[in-house]
């Protein structure tokens, strides 16, 4: 019996939360791990970094693979491999073997984001794709604060955390396969490499560079820079609570679910640009001393708009044969922006706090201008906004 494709989207959404959470879930445990493994704080900090680096560069492996091999196979195999690597991380007893296990986890986890987004684009009807993309965007964004909160609240040691998540990855793989099998039938979403190959070159067309390289670098760059700067300020001002600023930034992430309406009405470029402008405004509020709590709220709301907008832009503007590669490149540069943010925030903070907050804001506004200017121009001005177009029409209309 064929079921609604939303079962599949929810399964992928929950799985995406658990996969991306693996980056952040160990952060509350670093102090305990430093004592347990008899290592320095600097060495402990490399435990999440080892995952992050392998995760980022793994996108360049699995993006092309997911465009050439059955994407469901890549997704499920990646989850099983991640479960195995996570079980290994639960069993290791030395710092060196833990770092190796984290590298293996990162490589396996890199198989998920771009592959999952490409699969959802194929399986969802065009009118439902913006909401499905926003659901995945929310899962990816919320994993950072929620995973750290849950691990801290439950007081889980590393081995228990890894055993639980390894088990959940296997369960998720089974549920994803089951929900996908219940939704078998002809593709209803954007065409993949098997359904529309070679149609006037549209199937191998990449989105504009601003959409999948430049703009993604600025989104998490703003968010991570803000929290890094707040941490520096808290060292001088005990009234600043970085944990409170992270907490108040969580509810605005639900703005993700406003993104589909904007995308349906105006296109993904406007959604992403709106988010970038709001995020820049949040950084300005922080830099101008108008209240870090309000700055965190506004910034998180902007990121919550920008991320689904950019995912939709890359998804709609790329051809089926290169969609996973385009999404993998987007995710890589999104993560690179987050990775360089603490270093740049530290350098600019020691020059001027205003520069520290202002530089990410300026970068977001520049990216917004480039994205808006490079968006595909409409050919047919009478657009039916009830249904987002397929990939070829999207390139001409949005």
Predicted local distance difference test score (pLDDT) of residue 242: 80
Confidence of residue 2 (pLDDT cuts 50, 70, 90): low
Stretch among 79-93, 155-169, 270-284, 348-362 having the lowest mean pLDDT: 348-362
Question: Distance between CA atoms of 184 and 297, rounded to whole angstroms?
Answer: 41
CA 168 to mean position of chain CA atoms: 20
Of 104, 109, 155, 86, nearest to 15 by C-alpha is: 109
| Chosen CATH of 6-189 out of 1.20.1250.20, 3.30.365.10, 3.40.30.10, 1.10.287.130 | 1.20.1250.20
Instruction: Write phi, then psi, for 326 (nearest 5 degrees).
Output: -65, -45
pLDDT score, position 320? 64
CATH architecture of 203-397: Up-down Bundle (1.20)
Instruction: Return the structure tokens found at 10.
Output: 């929810």
User: Locate tokens 């904007």: which residue?
Assistant: 262
Q: Structural domain boundaries of the chain?
A: 6-189, 203-397
- Separation between Cα atoms, residue 261 and residue 258, nearest integer Å: 6
User: What pLDDT does residue 209 have?
Assistant: 73
Q: What is the pLDDT of residue 176?
A: 93
Lowest mean per-residue pLDDT among 35-39, 308-312, 336-340: 336-340
pLDDT of residue 231: 79
Q: Are 172 and 79 in contact (CB under 8 A)?
A: yes
Q: Where are the alpha helices (DSSP H) in the chain?
A: 6-24, 30-36, 41-68, 71-91, 95-109, 113-123, 129-154, 158-181, 209, 215-236, 242-248, 259-266, 268-287, 292-317, 323-349, 353-374, 391-397
Q: Please write the tens of the pLDDT for every residue from 212-226.
A: 688 888 998 898 888
Looking at per-residue pLDDT, the higher value among 376 and 78 belongs to 78
- Say yes or no to pLDDT of 276 above 90: yes
- Rounded average pLDDT over 24-40: 85
Domains 6-189 and 203-397 share a fold: yes
Segment 147-199, tens digit of pLDDT: 878 887 788 899 999 999 999 999 999 999 999 886 654 445 444 443 444 44
Burial bucket for residue 246 (CB in 10 Å: 0-12, 13-18, 19+): middle
- Residues contacting residue 253 through CB under 8 Å, at least 6 positions apart: 138, 141, 142, 300, 303, 304
Residue written as token pair 């479960």 = 83
Contact 59, 332 (CB under 8 A): yes
User: Whose CA is closest to 26, among 183, 144, 200, 127?
Assistant: 144
Token match 């609604």: residue? 4
Q: What is the pTM of this model?
A: 0.77
């Amino acid at each position: 019996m064929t079921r609604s494709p939303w079962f599949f989207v929810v399964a992928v959404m929950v799985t995406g939360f658990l996969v991306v959470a693996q980056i952040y879930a160990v952060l509350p445990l670093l102090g305990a791990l430093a004592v347990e493994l008899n290592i320095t704080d600097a060495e402990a900090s490399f435990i999440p970094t080892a995952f992050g680096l392998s995760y980022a560069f793994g996108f360049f492996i699995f993006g092309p693979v997911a465009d050439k091999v059955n994407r469901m196979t890549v997704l499920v195999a990646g989850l099983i491999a991640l479960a195995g690597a996570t079980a290994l991380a639960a069993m290791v007893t030395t710092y060196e073997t833990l770092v190796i296990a984290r590298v293996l986890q990162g490589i396996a986890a890199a198989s998920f984001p771009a592959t999952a987004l490409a699969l959802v684009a194929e399986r969802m009807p065009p009118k439902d794709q913006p909401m499905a993309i926003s659901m995945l965007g929310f899962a990816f964004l919320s994993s950072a604060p929620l995973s750290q909160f849950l691990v801290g609240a439950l007081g889980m040691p590393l081995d228990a955390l890894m055993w639980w998540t390894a088990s959940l990855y296997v369960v998720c793989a089974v549920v994803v396969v089951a929900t996908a099998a219940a939704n078998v039938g002809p593709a209803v979403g954007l065409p993949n490499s098997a359904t529309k190959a070679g149609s006037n070159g549209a199937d191998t067309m990449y989105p504009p560079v601003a959409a999948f390289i430049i703009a993604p670098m600025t989104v998490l760059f703003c968010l991570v820079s803000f929290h890094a700067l707040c941490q520096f300020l808290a060292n001088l001002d005990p009234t600043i609570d970085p944990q409170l600023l992270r907490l108040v930034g969580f509810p605005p992430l639900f703005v993700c679910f406003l993104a589909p309406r904007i995308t349906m009405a105006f296109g993904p470029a406007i959604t992403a640009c709106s988010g970038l402008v709001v995020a820049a405004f949040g950084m300005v509020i922080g830099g101008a001393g108008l209240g870090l709590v309000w700055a965190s709220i506004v910034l998180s709301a902007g990121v919550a708009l920008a991320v689904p907008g950019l995912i939709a832009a890359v998804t709609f503007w790329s051809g089926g044969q290169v969609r996973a590669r385009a999404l993998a490149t987007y995710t890589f540069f999104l993560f690179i922006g987050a990775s360089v943010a603490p270093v740049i925030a530290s350098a600019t903070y020691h020059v001027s706090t205003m520069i520290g907050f202002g530089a990410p804001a300026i970068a977001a506004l520049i990216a917004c201008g480039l994205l808006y200017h490079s968006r595909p121009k409409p050919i047919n001005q009478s657009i039916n906004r009830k249904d987002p177009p397929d990939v070829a029409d999207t390139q001409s209309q949005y």
